[in-house]
Amino acid sequence: MNEERYILFDQYLQGELTIDAKNDFEKQLLEDSEFASEFETFKNVQFQLANKFGFEQEREAFKQNVAAISNKHFNNKPKVIGLKPWYLAVAASVAVLFGLFFFNYNQNPVFGDYNNPEQASFAVRGTINETLKEAETAYNKKRYNTAIPLFETVLQKQKTAEIQFFYGVSLLEESHYLKAEAIFNELKAGTSVYKEKAVWYLALSKLKQKDYEACKKILETISEDYEDYDQVQELLNQLD
């Protein structure tokens, strides 16, 4: 999660966005599952901070201090296009605050840290593949809810490991765990180039559901020859 998003999330929760900005924010929540997941994480952390540390009172004092600092250091300098200095200062400080919180209170790895879906690129030929091209475009733009029914239409007549894989990833992105895992288990039992990728995504499915023990057991079955084994090893280390 980057610092600018921290500020945007905070402004939304505090009711500081304009009507247009609020509508755009809520539209993105509906269309971008990764953005929505990061927002949920932010809300959860803010809630826990409020309970543990009385964060709301500290937040106001923090904002006043940062505002005073920014006035002192930035008011006499030329304005530049982009975030205001105050927001840049808050972004950096909030990032540190939340980073410290996660370091001390949430040692478990997060799905978003390992979720890097590759781009789909299908060879498109024939009428049925017009639908596949639409699915590819929706998937690559992270409009997974749109991609899912398109993939399902294609798979009724053209079932390949490649299409199944990207369909499974789309399902996982939208938290359709049972369907996604059924697809990945089928690929796992096969002999395609997506065999071990499917096992990795089975582990990510468990990670997203916070079933850390199941995630670890699946990771331990992945061969060291897997092309992204460094990520496997990293996640295993995080789970130990």
pLDDT tens for 111-121 read 988 999 999 99
Number of domains in the chain: 2
Render pLDDT for 125-150 as a digit per residue (tens, 0 to 9): 555 588 999 999 999 999 999 999 99
Is the pLDDT at 48 greater than 70? The verdict is no
Same structural domain, 66 and 120: no
Q: Which of 5-19, 76-90, 201-215 has the lowest mean pLDDT?
A: 76-90
SS (H, E, C) the chain: CCHHHHHHHHHHHCCCCCHHHHHHHHHHHHHCHHHHHHHHHHHHHHHHHHHHHCHHHHHHHHHHHHHHHHHHHHCCCCCCCCCCHHHHHHHHHHHHHHHHHHHHHCCCCCHHHHCCCCCCCCCCCCCHHHHHHHHHHHHHCCCHHHHHHHHHHHHCCCCCHHHHHHHHHHHHHCCCHHHHHHHHHHHHCCCCCCHHHHHHHHHHHHHHCCCHHHHHHHHCCCCCCCCCHHHHHHHHHHHC
- Mean pLDDT on 176-184: 97
Q: What is the pLDDT of residue 81?
A: 42
Same structural domain, 228 and 125: yes
Q: What is the pLDDT of residue 40?
A: 83
Same structural domain, 49 and 149: no
Same structural domain, 81 and 159: no
Is the pLDDT at 3 greater than 80? The verdict is no
Q: What is the pLDDT of residue 201?
A: 97
Higher pLDDT, 34 or 63: 34
For 180, the domain range is 113-239
CATH number reported for the structural domain that contains residue 188 in this entry? 1.25.40.10
Same structural domain, 151 and 99: no
Q: What is the pLDDT of residue 99?
A: 56
Q: What is the pLDDT of residue 181?
A: 97
Same structural domain, 234 and 154: yes
Of 107, 126, 161, at which residue does a domain stop?
107
Same structural domain, 171 and 208: yes
Mean pLDDT of the chain: 80
Render pLDDT for 64-108 as a digit per residue (tens, 0 to 9): 554 554 455 445 544 444 445 445 555 555 555 555 444 444 568
Same structural domain, 133 and 43: no
Q: What is the pLDDT of residue 107?
A: 66
Is the pLDDT at 185 greater than 60? The verdict is yes
Render pLDDT for 28-43 as a digit per residue (tens, 0 to 9): 888 888 788 888 887 7
Q: What is the pLDDT of residue 148?
A: 97
Q: What is the pLDDT of residue 82?
A: 47
Q: What is the pLDDT of residue 228?
A: 92
